[in-house]
Amino acid sequence: MIASDLGGIDTGNDGALAGCGPLLSNVAPVARPLRHVLFDHVRAQGGTTRAEMGRALGVSAASVSAVTSDLIADGFLRESPVAAVPDVENPRIGRGRPPVELQVAAEAYHVIGMKLGDLRHTAVLSDFAGRRIAEASMPTRPNRKSAAILIAEARALMDKLLAECGKNRRDISCVGVGMAGMVDFATGSVAWSPMLDAPSTALRGQFETALGVPTWLDNDANLLTLAELWFGGGRSKSDFAVVTIEHGVGMGLVLFNQLYRGARGVGMELGHTKVQLDGALCRCGKRGCLEAYVADYALAREAATALDQHESLSESPLALLESLFVEARGGNEAALSIFRRAGRYLALGLSNVAQMFDPEVIILSGGRMQYDYLYAREVLSEMQSMTLTGARPPARVEIHSWGDLVWAQGAVALALGALTEQLLGHSATRGSAA
Ligand SMILES: [Zn+2]
């Protein structure tokens, strides 16, 4: 399927470069090279003139001119004439040199973003400006928990995606891959994942070998956070949290306009914070995790009891959850009580996030967000009532529903960030990318 309009994501496929990437890239506490700042600014704006860039970033015309000349010579930016706007009152204005806009050389590089999931894998192919060129998805083999199968499926998905748009592996400069679990972005190792039967110290290297392209690996909640930071509601915010309740409970945190990954590379695991001593068993093996009360698989487990469908649980937990949702909509009290209880636990989790990080906004984000009982007005008001705010207004919560490709779109941001760092020549370590 060729790229189409998918809710929430501005694909910019109408020909104009709509821009992607953080809009506040110069707020980081560590100074970035001017070359990076200017390139990121052009990509975030979609296109801009040298004069606008100088004004926006407070950089002298001479510096802008020198650095952008280098970026053009390197093939990262290009010049494009700006359509002249006739001035009827002053027809003489505009007769001089026509204004020129700088844009990212979009076709110079291509990346792939991939989300590997329990039931389905999705992928997006994007150009260097962040425009979506093609997308693909495929069902996964049920109940497999093997790195070898996962890698083979990723390879098959990549081939399918390339076939969609008539490209081949040599056209791809970087692949970003996201999966659930404790994924160390810097080392490419996975300490735990519900998708693997054992930890892996070299999973990224195995992906790279199989895909034949430099590959980066990250936690799927980080992908969602990058999707918000590069393409969504987080583009103009410097500090915010993203919480997702799809495929488990995940969280990402942006500080100073950059994704925070924690000192040891793994970052936030909101789903495995404890909300009950000796509580329900989580798929991580521990008890009392938030995820064990809120995640789709946890609800499916309760749905099997409420709907008396134990035998169907292992076959299709999502179908079971859909049935539960339909029952709740129809007024089934047992089904409603399951969603309400999960909503109260989510309120507890969100309150803890607000209390610990004091973010500008908590974005409750995901592909479908279809189970609206979980983030109903009562849930958010319970979250506010649990949170100590004093005289200040309570933390703001926004709900974003994107469509199924949001995870892969976040993986595109991961790949674009890593590739840009590498190309512009400042990436000393993998850990500094994205
Ligand atoms: Zn857990």
Decide if pLDDT at 286 tops 90: yes
Q: At what angle do helices 333-357 and 377-386 cross, to 10 degrees?
A: 40
User: Which domain CATH number covers 77?
Assistant: 1.10.10.10
212 and 361 fall within a common domain: no
80 and 117 fall within a common domain: no
Q: Is 60 exposed, middle or buried (0-12, 13-18, 19+ CB in 10 A)?
A: exposed
Question: In angstroms, what is the span from residue 186 Cα to ligand 1's centroid?
Answer: 23
Question: In angstroms, what is the span from residue 405 Cα to ligand 1's centroid?
Answer: 26
Q: Are 173 and 208 in contact (CB under 8 A)?
A: no
Question: In angstroms, what is the span from residue 272 Cα to ligand 1's centroid?
Answer: 4
244 and 374 fall within a common domain: yes
pLDDT at 85: 58
Question: In angstroms, what is the span from residue 177 Cα to ligand 1's centroid?
Answer: 22
Question: In angstroms, what is the span from residue 357 Cα to ligand 1's centroid?
Answer: 21
pLDDT at 27: 61
267 and 304 fall within a common domain: yes
Question: In angstroms, what is the span from residue 233 Cα to ligand 1's centroid?
Answer: 29
Decide if pLDDT at 7 tops 90: no
Question: In angstroms, what is the span from residue 348 Cα to ligand 1's centroid?
Answer: 16
Which of 13-22, 170-179, 189-198, 419-428 is predicted most confidently? 170-179
pLDDT at 90: 55
What total number of domains does the chain contain? 3
Instruction: Look at residues 106, 125, 140 and tell me which one is the last residue of a structural domain.
Output: 106
Residue 95 CB neighbours (<10 A): 8
Task: Write down the mean pLDDT value for the chain.
Answer: 86
Question: In angstroms, what is the span from residue 269 Cα to ligand 1's centroid?
Answer: 9
213 and 125 fall within a common domain: yes
Question: In angstroms, what is the span from residue 281 Cα to ligand 1's centroid?
Answer: 8
Q: For residue 16, is it within any domain?
A: no
132 and 95 fall within a common domain: no
Question: In angstroms, what is the span from residue 71 Cα to ligand 1's centroid?
Answer: 47
Question: In angstroms, what is the span from residue 220 Cα to ligand 1's centroid?
Answer: 16
Whole-prediction pTM value?
0.86
**Tokens read off for 379:** 């849930």
Question: In angstroms, what is the span from residue 221 Cα to ligand 1's centroid?
Answer: 15
334 and 241 fall within a common domain: yes
Question: In angstroms, what is the span from residue 332 Cα to ligand 1's centroid?
Answer: 29
Q: For residue 432, is it within any domain?
A: no
Across 191-210, average pLDDT: 93
Question: In angstroms, what is the span from residue 200 Cα to ligand 1's centroid?
Answer: 19
Question: In angstroms, what is the span from residue 287 Cα to ligand 1's centroid?
Answer: 7
Question: In angstroms, what is the span from residue 377 Cα to ligand 1's centroid?
Answer: 27
Q: For residue 170, is it within any domain?
A: yes
Q: Give residue 86's pLDDT band: very low, low, confident or very high (50, 70, 90).
A: low
Decide if pLDDT at 18 tops 50: yes
Question: In angstroms, what is the span from residue 241 Cα to ligand 1's centroid?
Answer: 20
Decide if pLDDT at 8 tops 80: no
Question: In angstroms, what is the span from residue 298 Cα to ligand 1's centroid?
Answer: 11
Question: In angstroms, what is the span from residue 289 Cα to ligand 1's centroid?
Answer: 5
143 and 172 fall within a common domain: yes
Question: In angstroms, what is the span from residue 282 Cα to ligand 1's centroid?
Answer: 5
Q: Are 38 and 21 in contact (CB under 8 A)?
A: no
Summarize pLDDT for 344-362 with one digit per residue, the tens.
999 999 999 999 999 999 9
Decide if pLDDT at 374 tops 50: yes
Which of 41-50, 289-298, 322-331, 389-398 is predicted most confidently? 41-50
63 and 117 fall within a common domain: no
Q: Are 58 and 91 in contact (CB under 8 A)?
A: no
pLDDT at 141: 80
Question: In angstroms, what is the span from residue 249 Cα to ligand 1's centroid?
Answer: 9
Instruction: Look at residues 106, 135, 161 and tell me which one is the last residue of a structural domain.
Output: 106
Decide if pLDDT at 235 tops 50: yes
pLDDT at 354: 95
Q: For residue 220, is it within any domain?
A: yes
Question: In angstroms, what is the span from residue 358 Cα to ligand 1's centroid?
Answer: 24
Higher local confidence (pLDDT), 55 or 310: 55
**Picking from 79-83, 118-122, 204-208, which range would have the lowest pLDDT averaged per residue?**
79-83
Question: In angstroms, what is the span from residue 246 Cα to ligand 1's centroid?
Answer: 15
Summarize pLDDT for 291-334 with one digit per residue, the tens.
999 988 888 888 888 777 655 555 577 788 888 888 899 999 99
Higher local confidence (pLDDT), 2 or 363: 363
Decide if pLDDT at 285 tops 70: yes
Q: Give residue 59's pLDDT band: very low, low, confident or very high (50, 70, 90).
A: very high
Question: In angstroms, what is the span from residue 87 Cα to ligand 1's centroid?
Answer: 64
Question: In angstroms, what is the span from residue 53 Cα to ligand 1's centroid?
Answer: 47
Question: In angstroms, what is the span from residue 248 Cα to ligand 1's centroid?
Answer: 9
Please list, residue by residue across 113-134, b when 16 or more beta carbons sit within 10 angstroms of its beta carbon and e when fewer do. Answer: bbbbbbeebbbbbbbbbbbbbb
Q: Is 148 exposed, middle or buried (0-12, 13-18, 19+ CB in 10 A)?
A: exposed
User: Which domain CATH number covers 194?
Assistant: 3.30.420.40
d(CA 283, CA 404): 23
Question: In angstroms, what is the span from residue 270 Cα to ligand 1's centroid?
Answer: 9
Across 158-172, average pLDDT: 97
pLDDT at 14: 45
pLDDT at 428: 37
241 and 206 fall within a common domain: no
Question: In angstroms, what is the span from residue 371 Cα to ligand 1's centroid?
Answer: 21
Q: For residue 85, is it within any domain?
A: yes
Q: Give residue 393's pLDDT band: very low, low, confident or very high (50, 70, 90).
A: confident
Question: In angstroms, what is the span from residue 194 Cα to ligand 1's centroid?
Answer: 10
Q: Give residue 25's pLDDT band: very low, low, confident or very high (50, 70, 90).
A: low
Question: In angstroms, what is the span from residue 46 Cα to ligand 1's centroid?
Answer: 41
Domain that holds residue 252: 237-400
Q: For residue 27, is it within any domain?
A: no
Instruction: Look at residues 106, 124, 153 and tell me which one is the last residue of a structural domain.
Output: 106
390 and 270 fall within a common domain: yes
Summarize pLDDT for 26-40 with one digit per residue, the tens.
666 567 899 999 999
Q: For residue 322, is it within any domain?
A: yes
Question: In angstroms, what is the span from residue 286 Cα to ligand 1's centroid?
Answer: 5
241 and 323 fall within a common domain: yes
Q: For residue 23, is it within any domain?
A: no
Across 242-259, average pLDDT: 89
